[in-house]
Amino acid sequence: MSADEPFISAVKPLVDAMGGELLPPDEAGPDDVVLAWEGADVVAVRLPQLADSLDHILAAMERKRGIPLADLDRKAKQEVVRILEARGAFSVRHGVETVASALGVSRFTVYNYLNRDKT
């Protein structure tokens, strides 16, 4: 697998960023994505469930900012909501509740942030 390692190293940051998991191609399930390199199956990617992906995105946003999202000021929280809306976070079941909890605000506040951009 040494010839494949550069390919796996190249895709790993993307898979990690989306909360996926790398697997040997022979362990791939029907919902996994098998990646081939130079005609051979090299690695399989197990994509996260949407709800798990939202948690992963929130954790990554928190790491990037270096503080809990709940500790951000109002303007920064509004920006987080805008970013999450663009990424489809609110199409996930309980997305508003999950984001509200992470931001330390009510669902009503998240809806206000969403509606504020539309007026």
pLDDT tens for each residue of 97-114: 999 999 999 999 999 999
pLDDT at 16 over 90: no
The alpha-carbon radius of gyration of the chain (Å, integer) is 18
Q: Phi and psi at residue 74, in whole multiples of 5°? A: -55, -45
Task: Give pLDDT, residue 117.
Answer: 60
Q: Residue 33 pLDDT more than 90?
A: yes
Local confidence band at 69 (pLDDT 50, 70, 90 cut-offs): very high
Position 71, amino acid: D
Dihedral in degrees, nearest 10, Cα atoms 15, 92, 54, 31: -30
pLDDT computed for residue 12 by the predictor:
92
CA distances from 49 to 18, 25, 55, 87 (A): 10, 20, 10, 15
> For position 77, what pLDDT does the model report?
96
pLDDT value at residue 66: 94
- The C-alpha atoms of residue 101 and residue 54 are separated, in whole angstroms, by 12
The stretch 50-79 carries a mean pLDDT of 90
The mean pLDDT value for 21-26 works out to 94
Name the average pLDDT for the chain: 88
